[in-house]
Amino acid sequence: MTRRSLYFVKQRTAEVREENLTGPRAGEVLVQTLLSGISAGTELLVYRGEVPAEMAADETIAALSGTFAYPLKYGYAAVGRVTALGSGVERSWDGSLVFAFQPHESHFSAAPQNLLKVPPGLEPEDAVFLANMETAVTLALDGAPLLGEKVAVFGQGVVGLLLTALLAKFPLGALATLDLHANRRLLSETLGAQASFDPADPQALAGLRAFFKQLEDYDGADLTYEVSGSPAALDMAVAATGYHGRVVIGSWYGKKRLELNLGGEFHRRRQRLISSQVSTIAPELRGRFTKARCLDLAWRMIKEINPRRLISHRFPLAGAPQAYAMLDRRPEEALQVILTYE
């Protein structure tokens, strides 16, 4: 038996390779992939060679046990159907629709404990957003929005839009977003943001502050999220944050460096910078929130938000190199890009 797998082979070069695949071993199942989602943030860092090659890809995901050195398979949002069972696996897994934190490939074997059954009533096009929704849930938990707070979200890619949709459910005082692309700014407003700004506009920061100040005599954000993937956005996010405000940094910059101005009002405002990462749960929450609880919450939010509307493009696996080239060179054209498997 063979499968088709996507490999990142060198900087800005991806190719689909055919490789041998044996049937599932004892305690494993064989999954035939139906579709997988490209994470435009993290995967573009890999595609562009902007990740330290010696760094572990992900120590918490069995399928991503290697490093970022080329060539490598990478990806973590696959939905498929269980087509075969290894010895010792419960029959209930046969035919199950499952989500896996798995690279882009047509078939794969996995232990059932590394798979998540898709809840009844959810289509694959919604289920493929689980990883990004889990990230958005983690960001919301780490930021801990309070009643009446003014919140700004820098970046309206898929994670940013999902986060905006979650924050719109809170009784906030105001919710504003920023993104370079007009279509994303408009979409963020349909998901619940009351205002959206172009960060490339020299008046964007003044406009954001004026928007907040018109609501009450206080022009700074209480809580700011940086999920744009751009290091320069973090400096603007700090500037937009008010006294004792929190800046949650959800972007992973890879090898990209940044200059951060902490010589202005940062100390006088006693601001706090908070790192957020979906692989772990914040220590102060671990007594109540487990990985399983966060995933259950993510499934619930998928049912409420119906994220399939964020899918902008579908490519067959063979067209994956063109998909990455589009995301790299023309990001304004795309939002969530899906790979399909015939």
Q: Alpha-carbon distance 323 to 337, whole Å? A: 7
6-10, 18-22, 81-85, 175-179: range with lowest mean pLDDT: 18-22
So what's the pLDDT on residue 254? Answer: 78
Q: How confident is the model at residue 4 (pLDDT cuts 50, 70, 90)?
A: very high
DSSP state of 309: G
Which of helix, strand or coil describes residue 168?
Answer: coil
Residue-wise pLDDT tens digits, 222-243 = 999 999 988 889 999 999 999 9
**Phi, psi at 274, each rounded to 5°:** -120, 125
Q: Alpha-carbon distance 213 to 294, whole Å? A: 35
Q: Average pLDDT for residues 4-13, to the nearest whole number?
A: 96
- Measuring CA to CA, which residue among 79, 138, 190, 60 is closest to residue 298? 138
Vertex 87 angle, CA 83 and 91, to 5°: 55
Write down the mean pLDDT value for the chain: 93
Domain boundaries, given as residue ranges, for the chain: 2-118+308-340, 132-285
Burial class of residue 158 in the structure, from the number of CB atoms within 10 Å of its CB (0-12 exposed, 13-18 middle, 19+ buried): buried
With beta carbons less than 8 A apart as the criterion, state whether 106 and 82 touch.
no
Per CATH, 2-118+308-340 and 132-285 having the same topology is answered no
Could you tell me how far CA 120 lies from the centroid of its own chain? 23
With beta carbons less than 8 A apart as the criterion, state whether 302 and 122 touch.
yes
With beta carbons less than 8 A apart as the criterion, state whether 97 and 124 touch.
yes
With beta carbons less than 8 A apart as the criterion, state whether 163 and 153 touch.
yes
With beta carbons less than 8 A apart as the criterion, state whether 2 and 104 touch.
no
Strand partners, 316: 340
Residue-wise pLDDT tens digits, 302-326 = 999 999 999 999 999 999 999 999 9
Residue-wise pLDDT tens digits, 73-127 = 999 999 999 999 999 999 999 999 999 999 999 999 999 999 999 999 999 999 9
CATH 3.30.950.10 fits 2-118+308-340, yes or no: no
Q: 49: which residues sit within 8 A by CB, 6+ positions away?
A: 10, 11, 12, 70
Q: Alpha-carbon distance 65 to 242, whole Å? A: 41
Specify the DSSP element, H or E, that contains 284: none
Which of helix, strand or coil describes residue 326?
Answer: helix
The DSSP line for 11-70 is TTEEEEEEEE-PPP-TT-EEEEEEEEEE-TTHHHHHHHT-S-TTSBS-TT-GGG-SBSPS
Q: Alpha-carbon distance 206 to 219, whole Å? A: 9
Which of the following CATH numbers is that of domain 132-285: 3.40.50.10680, 3.40.630.30, 3.40.50.2000, 3.40.50.720?
3.40.50.720
Judge whether residue 218 has pLDDT over 80.
no
Judge whether residue 65 has pLDDT over 90.
no
What are the structure tokens assigned to 263, written together?
Answer: 């010589």
So what's the pLDDT on residue 342? Answer: 79
**Beta carbons within 10 angstroms of residue 340's beta carbon:** 15
Q: 65: which residues sit within 8 A by CB, 6+ positions away?
A: 56, 57, 59
Strand partners, 19: 3
